[in-house]
Amino acid sequence: MAKSPVSLRGLRTFCAAAKHESFSAAADELYITPSAVSHQIRRFEEELDQRLFDRGARELRLTGVGRSLYAEVSPLVEQINSIVGSYKTGVARSSLRMSVQPFFASEFFMPRLAEFTASNPDIDIQVSASDESAESLPADADLSIRLFRSPPKGVESRLLFPLRVVPAGSKALAKSLRIKDGRIAGEFPLIVHESHPKAWKKWGRKAGITWPEDGKVTRLDSMIAIVRAAEQGIGAALVPIPLADQWFRQGTITRLFDDELVMDVSYFLIWQQKAEANEAVMKLRDWILERFADAG
């Protein structure tokens, strides 16, 4: 038997509430009441049989499932909005395609994009969040934000900021952490990004910290999965800053050490030279450079 389709209204309302982590702010964006947002979210949670938000007396926070769902579906909702918007009549509209690596998209780019769209209502943006590691510009993208070791050849590019990481984990792991003479005593399970397998050793040498060599190691291939694993107490992870700042502010994860490691890759904004003839692309390019360059 085919599964019943989920409510698109519920999905849109969830994305608005997840973006702001506020039913009131979502209500303002959607032009409905906060109680209507709350009702639609509750019905959407019942459809999925998943709790997407932790509702406190004074704050609203995404659960781990909610955060993961938002990271995956938000670019798709933006794409739907872009496609439908292109069929509207009466207004000359521009459409462009943006490719951003997943964690950068969900934690840094999408939360700030409303600022650009509010100032440029005639520009539709299709955001694709994919490809965590490859040093390439997707052929169908007008602009892209990706990690490179050096400025890519054959395209126009501008450095945004280097990838910096810090050790982070759950509050329970932080509480149990014991260090004696520069060595971590007891268990210290590690979460390792497959694209940066030697990062922990580099950090240890820089910080002057060692840990048991026979400890448990969990290897994952996406930063979203790594941060979620750290949140769930699976181990310590090297997470990017300032991209993960919201996780730290919310107390979802906590810094285990102050020492940072600057990786050998940096975030670059990339575009084809021919795109410079497109006014909409250049508006977004200039906004990104103003908003994100040197943000790290």
CATH at 35: 1.10.10.10
User: Could you list the residue range(s) of the whole structural domain that residue 6 is in?
Assistant: 1-76
| Count: domains in the chain | 2
Residue 125 located in a structural domain:
no
Q: Does the pLDDT at position 85 exceed 60? A: yes
Phi, psi of 256, deg, nearest 5: -95, -25
Cβ atoms of 92 and 122 closer than 8 Å: yes
Q: Which residues pair with 204 in a beta bridge?
A: none
148 three-class SS: strand
Quote the tokens at residue 24: 């009131």
Residue 258 located in a structural domain:
yes
User: Residue 214 is part of a domain; what is its CATH number?
Assistant: 3.40.190.10
Q: What is the pTM of this model?
A: 0.69
Q: Does the pLDDT at position 140 exceed 80? A: no
Phi, psi of 138, deg, nearest 5: -55, 135
Residue 252 located in a structural domain:
yes
- Please identify which residue in the block is written with the tokens 């739907």: 80
Q: Which residues pair with 236 in a beta bridge?
A: 190
Quote the tokens at residue 143: 């602009």
Cβ atoms of 243 and 253 closer than 8 Å: no
Residue 287 located in a structural domain:
no
Computed on alpha carbons and rounded to an integer, the radius of gyration of the chain in Å comes to 21
**Region 22-42 average pLDDT:** 83
Q: What is the reported pLDDT for 191? A: 97
Q: Does the pLDDT at position 141 exceed 90? A: no
CA 124 to chain centre: 21
Q: Which residues pair with 85 in a beta bridge?
A: none
The predicted-structure confidence for 187-241, as pLDDT tens digits, reads as follows: 899 999 999 999 999 999 999 999 988 889 999 988 989 999 999 999 999 999 9
Residue 8 located in a structural domain:
yes
Percent of the chain topping pLDDT 90: 48
